[in-house]
Amino acid sequence: MSLLWKMRFIIRTYWKQYLFAFLCLQLVAVLNQLPPWLIGWVVDEITTDSLYPEELGLAIGGILVTAFLIYGFRFLWRSLLYGASVDIVREQRDQLFAHFTRMSPSFYQRHTTGDLMAHATNDLNAVEACVGDGIMTLVDSIIAGVTVLVAMVVLVSGKLTLMVLVPFPALAWITSRYGTQMHKHFGQAQARFSDLNEEARETVAGIRAVRAHQLNKRQSERFFQQSRRTVEANRSVGHVEALFMPSVNIFFGLAFVIALMGGAWLIQDGEMTIGMLTTFTLYLGQLLWPMMQLGWQFSLFQRGSASWKRLERLMSVTPDIADKPDAVPAPTRHDLHFDIQAFAYPEAFPAESEELNPARTVLENIRLSVGSGQFVGITGRTGSGKSSLFRLLLREFNLPEDSSITLGGNNIDNIQLQALRSQIAWVPQVATLFTGTIASNIAFYNINASQTDIEKAARLAAIHDEIMAFQDGYNTLLGENGISLSGGQKQRIALARAFLADHPILLLDDAFSALDMKTEATILKNLHALHGHKTVLLITQRLPELIRADQILVLEDGRILEQGTHQQLLEHAGWYARIFRQQARSLELQPLVAVESEKAVSPVQEAP
Amino acid sequence: MKLLSRYQGLHNLLGWGRPYRRGFVTAFVLLVIATCFEMASPWVMKIILDQYIGASHQDMSTLAWLGGALTLTYVGASIFQYFQSIIFNNNALEVIHDIRQKVFAHLLTLPMRYFDSEPMGRLVSRLTNDSEVIRQMYVGVLPAILRGGMKLVGIFIALALLDLRLMLLVMIIVPVLLFSMHLYQKYSHPVVHGVRARLADINTLLGESLANMRVIQAANREQELRGEFAGSNQGWRDLRRQEINVNSLLLMPFGNLVQTLALAGIVGWFGWKAGYTTVEVGTIYAFINYLARFFEPFRQIAQQLGNLQQALVASERVFAVLDETPEAAPPRRNEQTATAGRLEFRHVSLSYDGRHKALDDVSFTVEAGQFTAIVGHSGSGKSSLINLLMRFYPWQGGEILVDGQPLETLDEEHLRQSIGLVFQEPYIFTGSLTDNIILGNSAISPEQARLAAEKVHANRFISRLPGQFDHVPAAGGQSLSTGERQLLSFARTVAQDPRILLLDEATANIDGETEQAIKEALITLREGRTTVAIAHRLSTIQDADQILVMDKGRIVQRGTHAELINQAGSYRELYLSQQMEEQLQSA
């Protein structure tokens, strides 16, 4: 119930719908009292042999009209009330999604996609059930229950009503107890079932290992036991279920026995007629439903409350990264200056890889100035902090006070987030494609791009010919129902995306790793053609890509190991020079070593 | 035809209940008794109204008797109902347990090809979700239909006894209700599907966006995405509202409408009858009471028939597994274990799909105790060699000999004891680390498992874990690193002590310390065993007795490292490009 209080601001928007629904519920409840009363009246007229055809006609007509009115009002309240619950869920879902789009990367490190999906589906469903069925049963059981009681007292007999109510507290107790018991056992049965699911998954997914290690017997035995446990849990559910209706029936039957016995007594005393008793028992039948509902809605609200709490907690997270109040639009100059004293990833950040370990300083003493239109190479071992540099420039994380990155003389913290991002086209290490056509994937940054522009970008990324080789060309579908591309093709689509974006700054994070050397060379050539127009930062492990770079940064353990032009670094004769010579030598030996992953995925793959 | 096959499906499904016939029959008898009690209540009420309240002579003892009888009808119905439910439910659960067992056991006998052809999720779903649908049929649909059907029969018998002609008249509502159900099916079907489809769209978009939010934000695409999402969401909302309207028009409110209309009919009938004959009030009351009980079972049966359809479809999927032919039973011709461990391939060729050759005329020999390494691009046929030695797939041509015996004649159990396979991605089973080393082999004691782990230096990381050897890793071994999983699988192999070792080397990057441990462990592992290793890093195979270079299913080069490095060819290419890569990584 406290849930409804918490949700009052959301529900309030729909108060008119709810109010009208309640009104309809009340009308239905009142109209429901009419037929039993008419029947009682007819019964009395029959027993006293004074039923006139006009009276009968009136009674039948009355019941018929009531029937259609009730039908109409029932339709109305359902449409209003459940309609409102659907609208509330739609609104909440939209808001939740909008909230998700504002969350910074650290949020996505803390919550898995699966968890967030569950919130957006299961929890919202539970909330829908609450603001729909929950509110309905709550209000209806009160409205209908009170209306029937009033009709019993006013139209028949207060005395008999009091007598009949004796078993009802027990009935209410049973239903609410049943609700909680059922919830508990059902939860256990569900848990056993997912265990069973996991057990089956283990065997099926690991069928080779099961065969190789001769585990048929072990796995069968485990599955058998798990299935047994599922059976046991379901037995408990069955017991509670089997107990419920019979015990309700006994207490409810008791009320009928009391009604008939008491009625007989009252009729004998002349306080009641047989027709009134008929009416009364029919009313009594109408009381069962509201009583049972009272018990059910309890667990409904319990579940809804838990879900709402989870959703609220999620919605209350404020993004780590947001515009400052005095944030400025994008600067016109595009020179970059990095001045980083020390940077470590924030706490509560699961150390899924060594690089993200919060205890570790990822970058230290980084000073780098990039003039507008320059081509800068960044290299170093895996985990040396190269990608972190990009993450900071994209403002995925905030820098500590004593460090800064400036763009055109403005600290990026002071630039509007949107504006900052519209200056940068970023090609991540792992190319991400979205469900949709190839064209829409290339036009990811600018959805309104013309086909000519898309093709131009694809040519720059050396992927145009391969796209044209697909049956549907640029309209080829990617994703779940579409084709899957090879790693190299994905990488080049992501590159085309960045070329089409045409932002002044281009960040390439190991973006050629899955390409063969010939393709790589073509793209590099296209990239160099942009020199002076676009600032390019390229992370790579293939040093020959950096021969023409304006400056090269070698990172080691988050620190700058070497910095300079290709020529300078060669003369320096350090790490760069050594690795470059090795790579160059093998290049001469084998000018076109095909990289495996670039080979298009053949239709028939070797069985894994 | 379709109807017939459906009926056949139901017949098959019910056939599983045969072993529990006695329980089901008992439950059914109890159900009949419970229904009789239930149907007696209105009748007793009728007697009370007519014989006692309506009659002029009224003595308290009759009333007490009648009151007692009425109470008894409720209590009796409840007690029999309770036992009926429990007996039915428990027997039904046993049936499901049997089905799951059988299907699971059968699944384990199916050839590897079957597992390749079916997505894993679908297979798992057959064992669990589909069998769950069948469970619901057994514990929900069947009893509801039986109970409801029984009730309907009881009600009609009672009504006929009360007033046969009126009962026949009341039958009119049956086709009316059936027609409304037909209408409901017709109008709800597209809407319900639409709602589901919209929800699927929403989930796809949601999942994709959540997984790639960095990319979306970097591209400033949030606004458009919110719009797209809101569009799908709005579509969902519109259809969902339609669904609500269809439900309100044709489900509960409609049933209530018909019920009230029938009530008007009964009033009219008895009112008209009262004009020329005496009408007992009790009869009117009983009629109304029986009729009120009519709609609930009717509604339930209608609802459950839909579920029955689902259950039949699910059962078809489940039993389709049982229809698959198991792998040819391993002949028990040859009970001996490989003692020496000499392997020989003679002109072996293999095709998975009948068109493309995965292995093409492959011949080689591995002498007992020798170390043979296989290198080549992915798809060159390396893993096929291992697949065949493990007898995961049948091959088309040539012979494979183990110690001179044809591989296919070897007894399954002995074959698996002789050959140990170390997977590229070792599979960690649910259970403790000790369990994972022993793998159900009763011949290995926990102490031996410990020793095995020590031998391959796995004890170093194990001692750091909570509970050490009793530590239970998270599902699928996710809490262990790739390297740790590797070491665990090495310990497994050492403990099982096979004559022949098949090794599929890991490609993933492993942190420095563990990598050193693995390198050392590999040498221990190979000791005294015939070893066939698929190698990715050439640095680990330089001491191999023989290196086979594979390409497109053929062996294109063979020899020792020293021989091959001096020939121009793919081995040297591979070696050089790897050297470069490795130096870059470790520089």
pLDDT, tens digit, for every residue of B155-203? 989 999 988 988 898 888 888 888 888 888 888 888 888 888 888 888 8
Which residues on neighbouring strands pair with residue B366, listed in sequence order? Answer: B343
Interface touch A70/B440, C-beta < 8 Å: no
* pLDDT of the residue at A606: 35
| B566 Cβ contact list (under 8 Å, min separation 6) | none
The pLDDT of residue B477 is above 70:
no
CA torsion sign for B533, B539, B540, B541 is: positive
pLDDT, tens digit, for every residue of B81-118? 999 999 999 999 999 899 888 888 888 888 888 887 77
Whole-angstrom distance, CA of residue A153 vs CA of residue A351: 69
Query: Across chain B, what does the average pLDDT equal?
Result: 82
Please identify, among B258, B290, B323, the residue that sits at the C-terminal boundary of a domain: B323
Interface touch A596/B377, C-beta < 8 Å: yes
Q: How confident is the model at residue A587 (pLDDT cuts 50, 70, 90)?
A: low
Distance from CA of A464 to the nearest CA of B (A): 22
**Domain count of the fold of chain A:** 3
Average confidence (pLDDT) over B13-35: 91
Cα–chain center distance at B276: 67
Interface membership of A269 toward B (CB under 8 Å)? no
The pLDDT of residue B584 is above 60:
no
- The string of DSSP codes covering A471-484 is TTGGG-EESTTSB-
Same domain, B58 and B104: yes
pLDDT, tens digit, for every residue of A544-556? 888 888 999 998 8
Residue of A83, A200, A432 lying closest to B212 (CB–CB): A432
The pLDDT of residue A603 is above 60:
no
Whole-angstrom distance, CA of residue B173 vs CA of residue B155: 14
Same domain, A265 and A284: no
pLDDT, tens digit, for every residue of A141-172? 889 999 999 999 999 999 999 999 898 888 87
* Disruptive mutation site among B60, B263, B472 for chain A (greatest number of A CBs within 10 Å): B263
Residue A457: inside a domain: yes
Closest CA to A120 of B167, B461, B209: B209
Cβ B402 vs Cβ B410: under 8 Å = yes
Distance from CA of B417 to the nearest CA of A (A): 8
Distances (CA, A) of B471 to A209, B154, B492: 21, 61, 16
Average confidence (pLDDT) over B2-26: 81
pLDDT, tens digit, for every residue of B547-567? 888 888 888 888 888 777 777
Of the listed ranges A226-230, A359-363, A532-536, the least confidently predicted one is A359-363
Same domain, A17 and A145: yes
Interface membership of A79 toward B (CB under 8 Å)? yes
Which residues on neighbouring strands pair with residue A378, listed in sequence order? Answer: A539, A553
pLDDT, tens digit, for every residue of B493-510? 888 888 888 888 765 555
Residue B130: inside a domain: yes
Residue of B247, B390, B511 lying closest to A211 (CB–CB): B390
Interface touch A579/B128, C-beta < 8 Å: no
Distance from CA of B16 to the nearest CA of A (A): 16
Full residue range of the structural domain in which residue A474 is found: 427-502
Cα-based angle B500, B501, B503 (whole degrees, multiple of 5): 155
Q: Which two tokens stand for residue B22?
A: 């006695």
Provide the 8-state DSSP code for B409. G
* pLDDT of the residue at B506: 64
Residue A574: inside a domain: no
The pLDDT of residue A569 is above 50:
yes
Going by DSSP bridges, is the β-strand pair A535-539/A505-509 parallel, antiparallel, or unpaired? parallel
Provide the 8-state DSSP code for A356. G
Please identify, among B323, B357, B375, the residue that sits at the C-terminal boundary of a domain: B323
CATH (domain of A152): 1.20.1560.10
**Bigger pLDDT: B290 vs B452:** B290
Same domain, A22 and A68: yes
Cα-based angle B382, B388, B392 (whole degrees, multiple of 5): 115
Which residues on neighbouring strands pair with residue B364, listed in sequence order? Answer: B345
Please identify, among B323, B353, B379, the residue that sits at the C-terminal boundary of a domain: B323
The pLDDT of residue B277 is above 90:
no
Same domain, A315 and A264: no
3-class SS of residue A432: coil
Residue of A nearest to B208 (CA): A434
The pLDDT of residue A596 is above 50:
no
Same domain, A293 and A431: no
Same domain, B385 and B304: no
Same domain, B303 and B372: no
Percent of chain A with pLDDT over 90: 24
Residue B333: inside a domain: no
Residues of B in contact with A442 (CB under 8 A): none
The pLDDT of residue A595 is above 50:
no
Interface touch B264/A238, C-beta < 8 Å: no
Closest CA to B93 of A189, A598, A296: A189
Same domain, B152 and B246: yes
Same domain, B551 and B446: yes
Interface touch B284/A70, C-beta < 8 Å: no
Outline where DSSP puts E strands in A371-446. 375-380, 404-407, 410-411, 424-427, 436-437
Cβ B379 vs Cβ B361: under 8 Å = no
Residues of A in contact with B96 (CB under 8 A): 231
The pLDDT of residue B39 is above 70:
yes
Same domain, B319 and B349: no
The pLDDT of residue A210 is above 60:
yes
Whole-angstrom distance, CA of residue A114 vs CA of residue A111: 8
Same domain, B311 and B405: no
**Bigger pLDDT: A355 vs B186:** B186
Residue A456: inside a domain: yes
Distances (CA, A) of A412 to A30, A300, A399: 67, 49, 10
Q: Round to the nearest angstrom and report the end-to-end CA distance of chain A.
A: 55
Contacts 24+ apart (CB under 8 A), A533-536: A533/A373, A534/A373, A534/A504, A534/A505, A534/A506, A535/A334, A535/A335, A535/A336, A535/A370, A535/A371, A535/A372, A535/A373, A535/A374, A535/A376, A535/A504, A535/A505, A535/A506, A536/A374, A536/A375, A536/A376, A536/A505, A536/A506, A536/A508
Helices (H) and strands (E) in chain A, counts: 23, 12
Q: How confident is the model at residue A601 (pLDDT cuts 50, 70, 90)?
A: very low
Residue B40: inside a domain: yes
Query: Does an H or E element contain B402, and which?
Result: strand B397-402
Half-sphere exposure of B54 (CA within 13 A, CB side): 22
Interface membership of A584 toward B (CB under 8 Å)? no
Of the listed ranges A566-570, B39-43, B52-56, B284-288, the least confidently predicted one is B52-56
Residue B334: inside a domain: no
Interface touch A67/B244, C-beta < 8 Å: no
Interface membership of A163 toward B (CB under 8 Å)? no
Residue B384: inside a domain: yes
Going by DSSP bridges, is the β-strand pair A363-370/A375-380 parallel, antiparallel, or unpaired? unpaired
Interface touch A282/B100, C-beta < 8 Å: no
One-letter amino acid at A425 equals A
The pLDDT of residue A591 is above 70:
no
Same domain, B397 and B292: no
CATH (domain of B279): 1.20.1560.10
Interface membership of A495 toward B (CB under 8 Å)? no
Residue of B nearest to A56 (CA): B271
Whole-angstrom distance, CA of residue A569 vs CA of residue A573: 6
Residue of B nearest to A397 (CA): B214
* Disruptive mutation site among A43, A104, A580 for chain B (greatest number of B CBs within 10 Å): A43
Residue A351: inside a domain: no
Average confidence (pLDDT) over A378-397: 84
* pLDDT of the residue at B413: 74
Residue B8: inside a domain: yes
Average confidence (pLDDT) over B264-280: 87
**Bigger pLDDT: A183 vs A343:** A343
Going by DSSP bridges, is the β-strand pair A551-556/A424-427 parallel, antiparallel, or unpaired? unpaired
Same domain, A136 and A67: yes
Chains A, B: CB pairs < 8 Å: 390
* pLDDT of the residue at B509: 53
Same domain, B218 and B248: yes
Interface membership of A429 toward B (CB under 8 Å)? no
Same domain, A107 and A84: yes
| B41 Cβ contact list (under 8 Å, min separation 6) | A253, A256, B70, B73, B74, B77, B289
How many of the other CB atoms lie within 10 Å of CB of A5?
8
Interface membership of A217 toward B (CB under 8 Å)? yes
Q: Which two tokens stand for residue A459?
A: 């040519």
* pLDDT of the residue at A116: 84
Provide the 8-state DSSP code for A132. I
Going by DSSP bridges, is the β-strand pair A477-478/A436-437 parallel, antiparallel, or unpaired? antiparallel
Residue A607: inside a domain: no
Same domain, B389 and B306: no
Interface touch B219/A43, C-beta < 8 Å: no
Distance from CA of A75 to the nearest CA of B (A): 5
* pLDDT of the residue at A597: 34
Same domain, A8 and A143: yes
Q: Which two tokens stand for residue B120?
A: 């894993």
Q: How confident is the model at residue B511 (pLDDT cuts 50, 70, 90)?
A: low
* pLDDT of the residue at A507: 92
Residues of B in contact with A256 (CB under 8 A): 41, 45, 70, 74
- The string of DSSP codes covering B41-66 is HHHHHHHIIIIIISSS---HHHHHHH
Interface touch B212/A593, C-beta < 8 Å: no
Same domain, B408 and B316: no
Residues of A in contact with B279 (CB under 8 A): 46
Residue B329: inside a domain: no
Q: Which residue has the tokens 């109470």?
A: B71
The pLDDT of residue A592 is above 50:
no
Query: Across chain A, what does the average pLDDT equal?
Result: 84
* pLDDT of the residue at B487: 80
Residue of A213, A235, A445 lying closest to B93 (CB–CB): A235
Distance from CA of A278 to the nearest CA of B (A): 7
| A372 Cβ contact list (under 8 Å, min separation 6) | A333, A334, A335, A504, A535
Whole-angstrom distance, CA of residue A95 vs CA of residue A106: 20
Same domain, B310 and B353: no
Average confidence (pLDDT) over A223-234: 91
Which residues on neighbouring strands pair with residue B504, listed in sequence order? Answer: B534
CA torsion sign for A92, A96, A97, A101 is: positive
Distance from CA of A445 to the nearest CA of B (A): 5
* pLDDT of the residue at A349: 43
* pLDDT of the residue at A357: 47
CATH (domain of B472): 3.40.50.300
Percent of chain A with pLDDT over 70: 92
Whole-angstrom distance, CA of residue A11 vs CA of residue A139: 15
| B381 Cβ contact list (under 8 Å, min separation 6) | A606, B358, B359, B360, B362, B550, B552, B553, B554
- The string of DSSP codes covering B351-393 is -SSSSS-SEEEEEEEE-TT-EEEEEE-TTSSHHHHHHHHTT-S
Residue of B nearest to A220 (CA): B105
How many of the other CB atoms lie within 10 Å of CB of A104?
21
Please identify, among A456, A484, A502, the residue that sits at the C-terminal boundary of a domain: A502
Residue of B75, B86, B288 lying closest to A239 (CB–CB): B86
Query: Does an H or E element contain A307, and which?
Result: helix A274-315
Residue of B nearest to A65 (CA): B261
Same domain, A91 and A125: yes
Backbone angles phi, psi at B93, to 5 degrees: -65, -35
ipTM above 0.85, yes or no: no
Interface touch A238/B90, C-beta < 8 Å: yes
Interface touch B100/A263, C-beta < 8 Å: no
Interface touch B423/A209, C-beta < 8 Å: yes
The pLDDT of residue A276 is above 50:
yes
Of the listed ranges A572-586, B278-292, B503-517, B551-565, the least confidently predicted one is B503-517
Q: How confident is the model at residue B478 (pLDDT cuts 50, 70, 90)?
A: low
Residue A18: inside a domain: yes
Same domain, A88 and A7: yes
**Bigger pLDDT: B5 vs A412:** A412
Of the listed ranges A278-282, A570-574, B239-243, the least confidently predicted one is A570-574
Q: Residues 176..205 of A with a Cβ closer than 8 Å to B: which?
A: 193, 196-205
**Bigger pLDDT: B57 vs A250:** A250
Same domain, A74 and A105: yes
**Bigger pLDDT: A84 vs A471:** A84
pLDDT, tens digit, for every residue of B121-150? 778 878 887 888 888 888 888 888 888 899
**Domain count of the fold of chain B:** 2
Closest CA to B114 of B357, B393, B395: B393
SS3 per residue for A511-566? CCCCCCHHHHHHHHHHHHCCECCEEEEEECCCHHHHCCCCEEEEEECCEEEEEECH
Interface touch A607/B216, C-beta < 8 Å: no
Interface touch A198/B120, C-beta < 8 Å: no
Residue A444: inside a domain: yes
- The string of DSSP codes covering B540-554 is GGTT-SEEEEEETTE
Percent of chain B with pLDDT over 70: 90
Full residue range of the structural domain in which residue B292 is found: 2-170+179-323
Residues of A in contact with B218 (CB under 8 A): 394, 421, 424, 426
* pLDDT of the residue at B331: 56
Which residues on neighbouring strands pair with residue A228, listed in sequence order? Answer: none
Residue A421: inside a domain: no
* Residue A560 falls in which region: left (phi positive, over 0), alpha (psi -120 to 50) or beta: beta
* pLDDT of the residue at B230: 93
Same domain, A75 and A5: yes
Of the listed ranges A135-149, A253-267, A287-301, A494-508, the least confidently predicted one is A287-301
Closest CA to A355 of A394, A398, A387, A397: A387
3-class SS of residue B345: strand
pLDDT, tens digit, for every residue of A36-71? 999 999 988 888 888 888 889 999 999 999 999 999
The pLDDT of residue A91 is above 80:
yes
